[in-house]
């Protein structure tokens, strides 16, 4: 007999996936992961037998529960369900899916809405970081209607403002996990940075690219993808993440100049395909790398001083603007605060049916 699990299919930023309350899922991690794989229809390139869209951007899951942590309203566990493998990765965060966590928590009654705007304090279980989401709640109810437009998503919607608090060292505990803002990996200059999510940042030109290539061009370049993966695996080892062959972190990023000093062009990988737009968490790290001294990215900007401002990260579908504020600790600059505006939408609310062989286990 099939098992029906309540869920809400939501778009957060430029990503999409089912949102579950933690209390409707099995407490055992292995059993939970088997259920999520079945729900998404993996492993299959089209995920034809489940909710997944055959793409890493639409094979994501959010699990939300009340938080027992002081100062936090809800806990958010992000799960990346691999499309072509029976694997669930909960090491990374997803800032796009994060945009829908606040609205979901409010509509599920996990947080009480206020009239006008409601601040939802979210603890990201994946990274141990706290994010403040400002959700529009006129009359004490979530609204998805508004005039905010984000690149990569058609139409407009209500803004969701995400303030990342303590983004440094999200997974590794250090802003520069290797101990330096720049490393040489197999002859290539790379910045290994952990701000909201671990990244390996490389100047596109060092790999013989302009940086303006389309995702389709990059995905079709098999030698390039093999080269990037080899660099990523070594970067993961140096960052203290161990063997990252079966993990989606660190994410590889190719950067290049984009005009004025506070903008940068980015090609963000997920990690084995180029993102058609850009991950929010990745954009925070890319923006931070532009204004922090000694990184691969900062060489594109020059030596102009920076303390706070807005950095534009240009991606294949447009751009993301990141508000960055730096701080100094013992004479070393770091990221004090990073914020971004996203939108979200509730697409469907109901139940997902899990095949009987799995549901009977």
pLDDT of residue 253: 98
Which backbone phi and psi does 47 adopt, to 5 degrees? 45, 45
Give the integer Cα–Cα distance in Å for 195 and 175.
6
Q: Where are the alpha helices (DSSP H) in the chain?
A: 29-40, 95-98, 101-107, 215-219, 222-238, 280-291, 298-301, 356-359
- Percent of the chain with pLDDT strictly greater than 90: 83
Cα–Cα nearest to 85, from 41, 49, 134, 141:
41
pLDDT of residue 358: 64
Contacts of 77 by beta carbon, 8 Å cutoff, 6+ apart:
22, 62, 63, 64, 90, 125, 126
| Residues composing the chain | 361
Contacts of 358 by beta carbon, 8 Å cutoff, 6+ apart:
3, 34, 35, 38
Q: What does each of the 361 residues of the chain score in pLDDT, given as a tens digit?
A: 789 999 999 999 999 999 999 999 999 999 999 999 999 999 999 999 999 999 988 999 999 999 999 999 999 999 999 999 999 999 888 989 999 999 999 999 999 999 999 999 999 999 888 999 999 999 999 999 999 999 889 999 999 999 988 778 988 999 999 999 999 999 999 999 999 899 999 999 999 999 999 999 999 999 999 999 999 999 999 999 999 999 999 999 999 999 877 999 999 999 999 999 999 899 999 999 999 999 999 999 876 789 988 899 999 999 998 989 999 887 789 998 899 989 999 999 999 999 877 655 4
Give the integer Cα–Cα distance in Å for 163 and 130.
9
pLDDT of residue 109: 98
Write the pLDDT tens digit of every residue in 256-274.
999 877 999 999 999 999 9
Which two structure tokens, joined as six digits, stand for 352? 């997902």
Give the integer Cα–Cα distance in Å for 297 and 266.
10
pLDDT of residue 178: 98
Give the integer Cα–Cα distance in Å for 152 and 319.
9
Q: Hey, what domains does the chain have and what are their CATH numbers?
A: 3-169+344-359 (3.10.310.10), 183-341 (3.10.310.10)
pLDDT of residue 361: 45
pLDDT of residue 180: 96
């Amino acid at each position: 007999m099939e098992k029906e699990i309540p869920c809400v299919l939501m778009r957060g930023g430029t990503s999409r996936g089912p949102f579950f309350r933690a209390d409707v899922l099995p407490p055992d991690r292995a059993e939970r992961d088997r259920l999520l794989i079945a729900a998404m229809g993996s492993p299959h390139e089209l995920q034809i037998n489940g909710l997944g869209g055959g793409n890493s951007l639409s094979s994501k899951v959010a699990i939300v529960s009340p938080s027992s942590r002081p100062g936090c309203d809800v806990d958010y566990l992000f799960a990346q369900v691999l499309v072509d493998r029976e694997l669930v990765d909960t090491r990374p965060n997803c800032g796009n899916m994060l945009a829908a966590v606040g609205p979901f928590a409010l509509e599920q009654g996990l947080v009480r809405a206020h009239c006008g705007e409601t601040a939802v304090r979210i603890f990201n279980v994946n990274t141990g970081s706290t994010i403040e989401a400002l959700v529009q709640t006129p009359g004490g109810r979530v609204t998805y209607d508004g005039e905010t437009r984000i690149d990569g998503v058609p139409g407009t919607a209500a803004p969701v403002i995400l303030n990342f608090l303590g983004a440094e060292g999200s997974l590794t505990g250090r802003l520069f996990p290797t101990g330096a803002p720049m490393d040489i990996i197999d002859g290539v200059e790379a910045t290994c940075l952990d701000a909201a999510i671990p990244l390996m940042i490389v100047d596109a030109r060092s790999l013989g690219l302009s940086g303006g290539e389309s995702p389709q061009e990059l995905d079709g370049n098999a030698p390039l993808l093999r080269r990037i993966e080899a660099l990523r695996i070594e970067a993961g080892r140096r960052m203290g993440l161990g063997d990252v062959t079966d993990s989606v972190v660190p994410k590889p990023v190719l950067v290049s100049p984009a005009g004025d000093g506070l903008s940068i062009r980015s090609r963000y990988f997920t990690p084995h395909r180029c993102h058609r737009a850009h991950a929010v968490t990745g954009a925070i790290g890319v923006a931070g790398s532009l204004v922090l001294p000694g990184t691969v990215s900062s060489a594109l900007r020059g030596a102009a001083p920076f303390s706070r401002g807005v950095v534009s990260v240009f991606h294949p579908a447009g751009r993301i603007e990141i508000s960055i504020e730096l701080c100094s600790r013992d004479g070393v600059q770091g990221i004090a605060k990073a914020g971004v505006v996203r939108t979200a939408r509730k697409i469907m609310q109901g139940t997902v049916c899990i095949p009987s062989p799995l549901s009977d286990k």
